[in-house]
Structures are given as structure tokens and as C-alpha cells.
């Protein structure tokens, strides 16, 4: 049974119905009188009392339901702000969260946040973020500089631009204030500080501009064969056809240049000699570097050193 | 009524609505115990929302569509009307937004038929909103290997799956052909895996999909296996090897994937001494050479010897 016109519900019911009522009038300018004309709780008392009571209820709605109904002081009316996501946008996010589980961030978020009451037992993908990602979120958003201890104990002050992956490692792309260069900082090389945050935000918000370049989207180019500065050399590596498939998926720019029976020659333009040779070595006796002679010589020299041969 | 009490009621109701919407039916009896509220009181709070309607002073019956109902002591989602949670105007906290953005970005890269259920374009729109909240974007973290679609195609959704013959390359680069019954695919840490039954030895295993070189029909069907919750990580502790090396600090940035830095000490000569953990014998051999000749293996003694032997073996292939 609906309530009688002058019947008052519980405070909770009033809060919920008031929220829905305002939402149903999103395009309508609503005055205090409109509220008093519809809800007995705000009628019958003086305007100031009603205004204060409505103000308290709207604050509760904002704090507990995360729904903001604003008062326009210059025009004397209330209006509900538009939702941050449409219903379909929210539904699509819930579907994504059901398939992709993101661990290591916001794990203690309230269940009322989108996706945090979601059953993820059927998730197909688990992404584990380094814990430090959560410390970098706000400075990146607010364009605030940060300081941290890096590698063997260097204090770095940087402009944090974005976080991303290169291969299976996570990096911070940032401008190093020491020399002004934009660099990739491996997150697992930022040192933890006992009892304190590893990342310390310093200075004002909006302290820098983030350059608009392709590094702001997609994966980071951290493969040495992409950023290396050695004079390019064309290398040829012999291996089985099976391994060639894996090798080409692993080394940026590698391609099968010829096949004979079960064997293949993989070609690749080398831009970082040491990194490339180390990579070749990691495949052990399953690959053989054939060309160019200068890289083969370097490889032999490396093996001699590591084997202890003269 | 004290405001604190209404706040608590609102919080409890919103939490239960979230659960009912995202995870399924909510038993009110269990919820009453969890939130330390009498069942009658909790039921009344929930009813205040589920049967939300009021005759206003104007005489109009205001009755918003509500997508929940109470049935047999449970709060359940009913129909597909909107939820009061659709009205939320406050952006999620940045940490929540980062998680949502990563999940959404990964999800949207996974499907060939993007708008089969009409939610593809809303997801793009949601990603754009999240990018603004977060102030950056995140790439998808688990790129689909070439044969993932073929592997997934073998898993039947109507109760029957097809066995497959695969050629698979192990960590030591040896290749073998196996008949397998694939149960599910999943991704952890950027790699895709196929959970399967290896018919050769009757054991359940997880194979990296990017190491499957070929896949073809195995000639028979089997009942589709139920899927399991994917693990947080693999327990590789039994395969752990420890190596202590001294090297230039920059060289640590180029360590092979999967190698962990455990202890690190700065040496006076500009180098660092680090204790590394690597899982598996073939990965150990990869590591010992991949660190390069400028890195010195200082322990344990068997690792020093192992590196020298392995390097000498490789060297011999270049000197013949």
C-alpha cells in the first residue's frame, strides 16, 4: 500500500525516495518550495528549518550514496548532478571486472565501489600490479613531482608521466629532474622504505606538463633492440623452425629470412650489441649466431671470459 | 532518529544492493549476523528500498522502477531496470579507477565481435571517463598469443569439448607432440596458459599458450571440464635456485624475465652484489650466460663451475 499523503516514512526511506525523486527531475529546477509541496517532512515548518533539514539529508545522500544534489545559490534551486557512468557503461565495467581480476590495488575498497562486490571466481585473467602503483596514481593525475630511492640508493626527483608495462615488467615513465631526460624507471628497482611510503609527492599540483607523444598510449618500448644506439648491424641466427617461431615472438624486429627442412635462419637488425648477445646466449646451444663476423667475435670473446678459457 | 543510525542503515543497504547486483542473491539472515543487526530491522531497511513508493503531498504516487526484490528471505536482482547505484555522481577513488581501467582495457582487446551484446561502445565510453579520472591510460597486459583462439575453440560451451594434438616447446626448448584435453585458458602475469589433461601420462598441467607451436584436432570428444578459479600465482618454490653475482648496477635492468632480485649490496667499486632467484634448471642456465661476461658469479661454488662448463660447451660449437 502506498503511504497516505501526510504519512511519513522512516528516515532511511525518506533519504532513498528523496534521492530517486531528485533524480527523476534532473532537468527540472527544483526549489525548496517544490520539496515542501511534495514531502510532508519539509512542510509545515518555517523555511529556514526546512532548508537546514533538507541540507542535512542531502549531505547524507552525498556521503552515503555518493549522489550529489547541488544548490544553485544564484538561482535558488536544487539540481541532481549527472551520474559519472551511464547504466550501460557501469554494466560494461561489471562485465569486464568479471573476466579480468586486477590484484594489488584497491583491494580494501568498499564493496559499494563498482566491481568490488563482484564475484571474480570465473575471471579468466589475473593482472597483479606492483603495490607501488597505488602510490603513484594521485601524483600522476595531479601532475605533482615525486621523490624516491632508486636502485643502489640514489634519491631521484622526477615528473611522473605514466605507468605501463614493457614485456612483463612494470615501469614509470618520468622526466628525471637531475638531467631533464625522460626515462623508464623499473618499478621493482624503486626501493622500499621501512615504515614510510616509497613514493613521496613534493611541491605543487600541476607542476609540469606531460608531453603529448605516442609513449602515453600502449606498451613501453623497453626492448633494447628498439632503443639501442649502437650502429645497426644485420645479424643472422640459425635455429630450428620451431624455435624460430618463439625467437621471433621474443626479439623485437626478428623475422625468418630463410627455411630449409626443419631449420631456419632468423634475421634481425641489432641496435644494442651487448643486450642482443646476452639474449642469444640465453637460448644456449639451441641457436647459433652466424653473422655478422664482428658480433660472432664478440660472442666468442664473451664465452671465453665466462668459461675461463684464455 | 540519530543521523549515525541512518548512515549505517544506508551503508548496509547500499552494500547489500551492490552484492545482489554484482554477485547474486543475498541471504538476509546471514547479512543480519554479519552487520550485527536484527533480521527484522534489516529486512525493514531493505524493504524501504525494494518497495520504494510514496504518495506525495500533491497526491501523485511516486514509484521509481526498482530492479531488486525480496524472495524467500533473500535480496535478489530482478529484471533489468536500473539501480539506485546508477545515480552515483561521484567519481570512484583513483585506486578503484585504475583497477577498473586496467580490467576494461584488457577486456576490450580480447574479443573479435565487439558489440555482440551491445556493451562494447559503452565500455569504450567508460574507458574514456576512467582515463580522465586516472590522468593516463594503461595498455592491455596480457597479449593474446597467435594460437589462443584455436586453443579456446576446442573448449565446448555445450558440454562437449574436442581433444587436441599439440606440438609444445618446453622451457628447455625441447619439442614434443602430445594429445591433450584442454579444460580452460587463463592469464597470469602477462602470459596465457592452457589448463589441460596430458593424455600421455594422465596428469593435469598448465602449458603456456605461446609455447604451443601447432594444434590440430585429436579425433574425439570428451565432456567439457568445469572451470576452476585461477590461482594468484604458481608455487615454484621447489624449483628455486639462488645465485650470487657482482655486476654493474645497470645490468640488473636487463635481467631475463622471471628472475627475482633478493638481496642487494652496494660495493665500493661501483658495482653491486646481488642474490638472484631463478626457477628451473634451464632458466638457471639461461641466466648464468645472459648476465654477460662483465658479471661475476661469486657463489655458491657449484654455480661458478656450472657457468664455466656451460660457457665452454657453447664455445666449443663456435670453435669447430
For residue B264, the domain's CATH number is 3.30.70.240
CA distance B138 to chain A (A): 6
| Nearest C-alpha in A relative to B22 | A118
3 state SS of A130: coil
For residues A205 and A142, state if they share a domain: yes
For residues B76 and B8, state if they share a domain: yes
For residues A212 and A270, state if they share a domain: no
Of B62, B82, B125, the CB nearest to A89: B125
Is A1 contained in some domain?
Answer: no
Is B45 contained in some domain?
Answer: yes
| Backbone φ and ψ of A108, nearest 5° | -105, 20
Which is more confident, B64 or B220? B220
Whole-number pLDDT of residue B12: 94
Interchain contact A137–B (C-beta under 8 A): yes
Whole-number pLDDT of residue B115: 64
For residues B8 and B82, state if they share a domain: yes
* Gap between the Cα atoms of A13 and B10, Å rounded: 9
* Gap between the Cα atoms of A74 and A80, Å rounded: 16
Is A61 contained in some domain?
Answer: yes
Q: Note down the domain range covering A230.
A: 224-307
For residues B241 and B313, state if they share a domain: yes
For residues A228 and A300, state if they share a domain: yes
Is A38 contained in some domain?
Answer: yes
Whole-number pLDDT of residue B48: 86
Q: Note down the domain range covering B264.
A: 237-319
Whole-number pLDDT of residue A1: 47
A9–B314 C-beta distance less than 8 A: no
Q: Is residue B271's pLDDT more than 50?
A: yes
B229–A245 C-beta distance less than 8 A: no
B106–A101 C-beta distance less than 8 A: no
- CATH number, domain at B166? 2.30.30
Q: What is the mean pLDDT of chain B?
A: 88
A117–B292 C-beta distance less than 8 A: no
Cell digits for B208?
603456456
The answer to whether the complex's ipTM is over 0.90 is no
Average the pLDDT over B25-30 and give the result. 95
Is A285 contained in some domain?
Answer: yes
Average the pLDDT over B176-198 and give the result. 92
- Name chain B contacts of A279, Cβ cutoff 8 Å: 290
Is B191 contained in some domain?
Answer: yes
For residues A138 and A206, state if they share a domain: yes
3 state SS of A127: strand
Tens-binned pLDDT, residue by residue, of chain A (310 aa) = 444 455 667 888 888 899 999 988 888 889 988 999 998 888 876 778 888 888 999 999 999 999 999 888 888 889 889 999 999 999 999 999 999 999 888 988 999 999 999 888 888 888 888 888 889 989 999 999 999 988 767 789 999 998 887 766 788 989 999 899 888 888 888 887 778 888 999 999 999 988 776 444 555 666 777 777 889 999 999 999 999 988 888 788 899 999 999 999 999 999 889 888 888 888 888 999 999 999 999 999 999 999 887 5
Whole-number pLDDT of residue A7: 60
* Gap between the Cα atoms of B316 and B319, Å rounded: 5
Q: Of A71, A104, A128, which residue is a domain's last? A: A128
CA distance B48 to chain A (A): 5
Closest to A90 measured CA to CA, from A61, A112, A121, A107: A112
For residues B155 and B219, state if they share a domain: yes
Cell digits for A5?
499523503
Indicate the helix (H) or strand (E) that contains A299: helix A293-307
Is the Cβ–Cβ distance between A106 and B137 less than 8 Å? no
Other CB atoms within 10 Å distance of the CB of residue A209: 9
For residues A40 and A109, state if they share a domain: no
Name, in order, each residue with C-beta under 8 angstroms of B277's C-beta and a sequence gap of 6 or more: B240, B241, B242, B259, B260, B262
Counting the structural domains of chain B, the total is 4
Could you give the count of Cα atoms lying within 13 Å of B224 in the half-sphere of its Cβ?
A: 14
Whole-number pLDDT of residue B41: 93
For residues A205 and A279, state if they share a domain: no
Which is more confident, A20 or B143? A20
For residues A42 and A105, state if they share a domain: no
Is A4 contained in some domain?
Answer: no
Average the pLDDT over B179-191 and give the result. 90
Is B75 contained in some domain?
Answer: yes
Q: Of A216, A237, A268, which residue is a domain's last? A: A216
Radius of gyration over every alpha carbon of chain B, rounded to an integer in angstroms: 28
Of B5, B57, B290, the CB nearest to A38: B57
pLDDT tens column, B280-294: 888 898 889 888 888
Is the Cβ–Cβ distance between B141 and A165 less than 8 Å? yes
Is B261 contained in some domain?
Answer: yes
CA distance B99 to chain A (A): 6
- CATH number, domain at A160? 2.30.30
Specify the range with the lowest mean pLDDT, choosing from A91-100, A219-228, B36-45, B211-220: A219-228
Q: Of B161, B193, B223, which residue is a domain's last? A: B223
Q: Tell the burial category of B22 from Cβ atoms under 10 Å away from its Cβ (0-12, 13-18, 19+).
A: buried
Could you give the count of Cα atoms lying within 13 Å of B178 in the half-sphere of its Cβ?
A: 22
Counting the structural domains of chain A, the total is 4
Q: Is residue B2's pLDDT more than 70?
A: no
Is A3 contained in some domain?
Answer: no
For residues B157 and B202, state if they share a domain: yes
- Chain A stretch 247-306, residues whose beta carbon is closer than 8 A to a beta carbon of chain B: 249, 274-275, 277-279, 281-286, 288, 296, 299-306
A40–B6 C-beta distance less than 8 A: no
As a whole-number percent, the residues of chain B with pLDDT over 90 amount to 49
- Chain A stretch 36-65, residues whose beta carbon is closer than 8 A to a beta carbon of chain B: 37-40, 43, 56, 60, 62-65
Amino acid at each position: 500500500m502506498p503511504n497516505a499523503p501526510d504519512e511519513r516514512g522512516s528516515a532511511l526511506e525518506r533519504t532513498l525516495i528523496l534521492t530517486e525523486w531528485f533524480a527523476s527531475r534532473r532537468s527540472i529546477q527544483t526549489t525548496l518550495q517544490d520539496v515542501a509541496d511534495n514531502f510532508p517532512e519539509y512542510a509545515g515548518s518555517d523555511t529556514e528549518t526546512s532548508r537546514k533539514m533538507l541540507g542535512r539529508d542531502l549531505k547524507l545522500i552525498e556521503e552515503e550514496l555518493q549522489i550529489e544534489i547541488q544548490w544553485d545559490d544564484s538561482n535558488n534551486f536544487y539540481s541532481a548532478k549527472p551520474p559519472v557512468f551511464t547504466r550501460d557503461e557501469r554494466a560494461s565495467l561489471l562485465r569486464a571486472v568479471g573476466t579480468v581480476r586486477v590484484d594489488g590495488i584497491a583491494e580494501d575498497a568498499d564493496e559499494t565501489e563498482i566491481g568490488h562486490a563482484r564475484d571474480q571466481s570465473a575471471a579468466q585473467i589475473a593482472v597483479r600490479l606492483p603495490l607501488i602503483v597505488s602510490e603513484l596514481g594521485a601524483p600522476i593525475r595531479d601532475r605533482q613531482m615525486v621523490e624516491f630511492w632508486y636502485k643502489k640508493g640514489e634519491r631521484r626527483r622526477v615528473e611522473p608521466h605514466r605507468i605501463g608495462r614493457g614485456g612483463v615488467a612494470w615501469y614509470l615513465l618520468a622526466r628525471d629532474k637531475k638531467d631533464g631526460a625522460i626515462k623508464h624507471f623499473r618499478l621493482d628497482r624503486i626501493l622500499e622504505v621501512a615504515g614510510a611510503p616509497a613514493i613521496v609527492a613534493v611541491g605543487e599540483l600541476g607542476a609540469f606538463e606531460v608531453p603529448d607523444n605516442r609513449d602515453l598510449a600502449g606498451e613501453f618500448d623497453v626492448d633494447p633492440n628498439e632503443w639501442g644506439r649502437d650502429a645497426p648491424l644485420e645479424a643472422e641466427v640459425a635455429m630450428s623452425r620451431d624455435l624460430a617461431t618463439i625467437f621471433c615472438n621474443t626479439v623485437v624486429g626478428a623475422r625468418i629470412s630463410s627455411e630449409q627442412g626443419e631449420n631456419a635462419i632468423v634475421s634481425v637488425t641489432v641496435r644494442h650489441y651487448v643486450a642482443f648477445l646476452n639474449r642469444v646466449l640465453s637460448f644456449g646451444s639451441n641457436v647459433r649466431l652466424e653473422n655478422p663476423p664482428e658480433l660472432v667475435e664478440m660472442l666468442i670473446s664473451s664465452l671465453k671470459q665466462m668459461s675461463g678459457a684464455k | 532518529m540519530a543521523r549515525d543510525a541512518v548512515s549505517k542503515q544506508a551503508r548496509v543497504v547500499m552494500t547489500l544492493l551492490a552484492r545482489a547486483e554484482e554477485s547474486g542473491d543475498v541471504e538476509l539472515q546471514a547479512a543480519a549476523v554479519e552487520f550485527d543487526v536484527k533480521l527484522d530491522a534489516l529486512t525493514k531497511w531493505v524493504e524501504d528500498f525494494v518497495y520504494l513508493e510514496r504518495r506525495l503531498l500533491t497526491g501523485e504516487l511516486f514509484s521509481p522502477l526498482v530492479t531488486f526484490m525480496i524472495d524467500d528471505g533473500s535480496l535478489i536482482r530482478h529484471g533489468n531496470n536500473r539501480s539506485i547505484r546508477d545515480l552515483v555522481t561521484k567519481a570512484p577513488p583513483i585506486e578503484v579507477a585504475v583497477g577498473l581501467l586496467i580490467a576494461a582495457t584488457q577486456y576490450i582487446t580480447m574479443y573479435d565481435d565487439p558489440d555482440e551484446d551491445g556493451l562494447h561502445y559503452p565500455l569504450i565510453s567508460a574507458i574514456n571517463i576512467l582515463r580522465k579520472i586516472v590522468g593516463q591510460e594503461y595498455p592491455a597486459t596480457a597479449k593474446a598469443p597467435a594460437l589462443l583462439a584455436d586453443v579456446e575453440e576446442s573448449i565446448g560451451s555445450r558440454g562437449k569439448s574436442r581433444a587436441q594434438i599439440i606440438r609444445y616447446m618446453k622451457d628447455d626448448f625441447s619439442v614434443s607432440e602430445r594429445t591433450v584435453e584442454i579444460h580452460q585458458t587463463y592469464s597470469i602475469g602477462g602470459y596465457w596458459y592452457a589448463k589441460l589433461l596430458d593424455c600421455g601420462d594422465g596428469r593435469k598441467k598448465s602449458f603456456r599458450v605461446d609455447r604451443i607451436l601447432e594444434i590440430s584436432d585429436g579425433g574425439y570428444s570428451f565432456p567439457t571440464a568445469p572451470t576452476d578459479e585461477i590461482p594468484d600465482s604458481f608455487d615454484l618454490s621447489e624449483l628455486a635456485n639462488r645465485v650470487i653475482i657482482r655486476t654493474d648496477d645497470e645490468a640488473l635492468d636487463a635481467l631475463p624475465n622471471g628472475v627475482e632480485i633478493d638481496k642487494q649490496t652496494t660495493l665500493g667499486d661501483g658495482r653491486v652484489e646481488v642474490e638472484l632467484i631463478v626457477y628451473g634448471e634451464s632458466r638457471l642456465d639461461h641466466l648464468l650466460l645472459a648476465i654477460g661476461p662483465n658479471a661475476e658469479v661469486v657463489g655458491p661454488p657449484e654455480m661458478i663451475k656450472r657457468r664455466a662448463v656451460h660457457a665452454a660447451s657453447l664455445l666449443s660449437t663456435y670453435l669447430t
